[in-house]
Amino acid sequence: MSESIKTKLVNLGRDPDSWQGMVNLPLSRCSTILYPSMESYEKRARGEEIGLRYARMGNPLSNAFEKAMAELENGFGAWSFASGLMAITGTIMAFAKAGDHVLICGNAYAPVLDFAENQLGRFGIEVEFFDPHVGADIAGIIRDNTALIHMESPGSATFDVMDVPAIASVAKNKNVLTMIDNTWSTPLLFNPIEHGVDIVIHSGTKYIVGHADVTLGVAICRTEELYTRMKSYVWDSGLSSSPDDLYMALRGLRTMEIRLKQTAENTLKVAQFLETRPEIARVFYPALESHPDHDLWKRDYRGANSILSILLQPHYTRDQVYRCVNTWEHFPVGSSWGGYESLCQPQYLKTARKLPVWEEEGQLLRLQIGLEDADDLIVDLTRGLETLK
């Protein structure tokens, strides 16, 4: 248990002794599981015998991945899903019911805001968005019927950092469940359960898989009680993930530390360069002292990752902005991040965010910095920015 996370990432979920010495857990596709007898079938259904039942309810790869993630985040157990978004919406649906009030940070991943706004009302669940900088003042908006608080820190697009320990502590005192989207950090940079959070979510699509070829999600529960409550919803709803994708996630864990470290090093270099460019009004990256939440980030996080955002000066026309972005060779336009390759994704926060209200003029662009040579990326970025002259 006291081993370094680097060592754990290499070893968790592997079991060569059970698999004729194979280094990796083999990719086992399955649906039906055969039982040795009628007695065994009934015992497994009652939980009196250990063994697989049906692929959707657990298979060798989901068991290995979920156990590995639970250990990395210091939780009791985990559930895996076909996407990160499904892990978030599945967790909300598992714990909220008609008549409840739920608090969602206003800078969450935009599809989560859409889910909260468009879907939860149909189930009689009232949604309230809160400012990520609320801190311990969250006490003022918690109601008697508040069932859960969803956090995301650093949040999407501008990486606003939340005071997670303060919010978790207030929530605990008021008996409100807390969940957090910890995708930005991976288990390497921040472990929310150590700060009192109940459920930790990762989009495995990003750093865990790391190669832009799988979507996957996971929710890690702090206690057995939470894990069991969640099981009821997950199994009743058929939420699950594919063995092929889980195989890729386990494989991704092996190199995640070195990928995250190298891309973060590249990103800091690129961020510092971008800060010197006159075409750019603001650079958002928590490891820069200019980031509004830099001090809070430094207090709680062990490092930063591979995404930053830039706000271009507001006087550029649409055509100028498009020409600049289209000039970049190493920053094709595409959603997602956390892979080995660089990307650019335009951000439209006036519509895609609730709070804090976005009032800045100018095009906001999120850059994912990959494993390319940072100097090559800087040359490429310069070429695009020069077209703005």
Q: Which residues are catalytic?
A: 56, 109, 181, 206
> Under the criterion CB under 6 A, does residue 240 sit at the interface with ligand PLP?
no
Cβ nearer to ligand PLP, comparing 215 with 266: 215
156 lies in the site for ligand PLP, by CB under 6 A: yes
Q: What's the DSSP call for residue 309?
A: E
Closer of 146 and 205 to ligand PLP (Cβ): 205
Cβ neighbours, 10 Å, residue 117: 13
Options 45-53, 79-87, 99-107, 228-236: segment touching ligand PLP (CB under 6 A): 79-87
Exactly one of 77, 84, 192, 210 binds ligand PLP (CB under 6 A); that residue is: 84
Which parts of 77-160 are beta strand (E)? 77-81, 101-105, 126-130, 146-152
Q: Could you give the CA distance from residue 366 to residue 363 in angstroms, rounded to a whole number?
A: 10
What's the min distance (Å) between Cβ of 337 and ligand PLP?
A: 7
Pick the binder of ligand PLP from 59, 62, 178, 183 (CB under 6 A).
183
**92 contributes a contact to ligand PLP by CB under 6 A:** no
* End-to-end alpha carbon distance in the chain: 56
Instruction: Compare residues 355 and 385 and give the one whose CB is closer to ligand PLP.
Output: 355
Q: Which residue is nearest to ligand PLP (CB)?
A: 84
Query: Contact region for ligand PLP (CB under 6 A) — 77-85, 133-141, 170-178, 316-324?
Result: 77-85
The answer to whether the CB of 267 falls within 8 A of the CB of 288 is no
| # residues near ligand PLP by CB under 6 A | 12
Pick 217 or 252: Cβ nearer ligand PLP: 217
E runs forming strands in 46-192: 77-81, 101-105, 126-130, 146-152, 177-181
- To ligand PLP, the closest distance from the beta carbon of 202 in angstroms equals 8
Among 65, 79, 95, 109, binds ligand PLP (CB under 6 A): 109
User: Among 318, 349, 9, 43, which Cα is nearest to 187's?
Assistant: 9
Q: Is 118 exposed, middle or buried (0-12, 13-18, 19+ CB in 10 A)?
A: exposed
Residue 181 binds to ligand PLP (criterion: CB under 6 A): yes
Residues linked to residue 203 through DSSP beta bridges, in sequence order:
217
Of 203, 241, 347, 368, the one binding ligand PLP (CB under 6 A) is 203
State the Cα–Cα distance between residues 244 and 41, nearest whole angstrom: 26
Nearest-angstrom CA–CA distance, 102 and 96: 8
Residue 309 in the binding site for ligand PLP (CB under 6 A): no
- E strands, the chain, are 77-81, 101-105, 126-130, 146-152, 177-181, 199-203, 217-221, 280-284, 307-312, 343-347, 364-368
Q: State yes or no: residue 217 binds ligand PLP (CB under 6 A).
A: yes
Nearer to ligand PLP, 75 or 217 (CB): 217
* Other Cβ atoms closer than 10 A to 180: 27
Which of these segments, 13-21, 82-90, 165-173, 377-385, binds ligand PLP (CB under 6 A)? 82-90
Residues of the chain by 3-state class (helix, strand, coil), percent to 5? 45, 15, 40
The least CB distance from residue 274 to ligand PLP, in Å, is: 21
Binding of ligand PLP at residue 85 (CB under 6 A)? yes
Minimum gap (Å) between residue 264 Cβ and ligand PLP: 16
CA–CA dist 344, 168 (Å, integer) = 33
Which residue among 59, 89, 146, 205 contacts ligand PLP (CB under 6 A)? 205
Stretch that binds ligand PLP, among 81-89, 158-166, 345-353, 371-379 (CB under 6 A): 81-89
For the purposes of burial, counting CB atoms within 10 Å of the CB of 175, is it exposed (0-12), middle (13-18) or buried (19 or more)? exposed
C-alpha to C-alpha distances, 5 to 68, 74, 227, 254, 306, nearest whole angstrom: 11, 11, 23, 11, 19
Binding site for ligand PLP (CB under 6 A): 83-85, 109, 152, 156, 181, 183, 203, 205, 215, 217
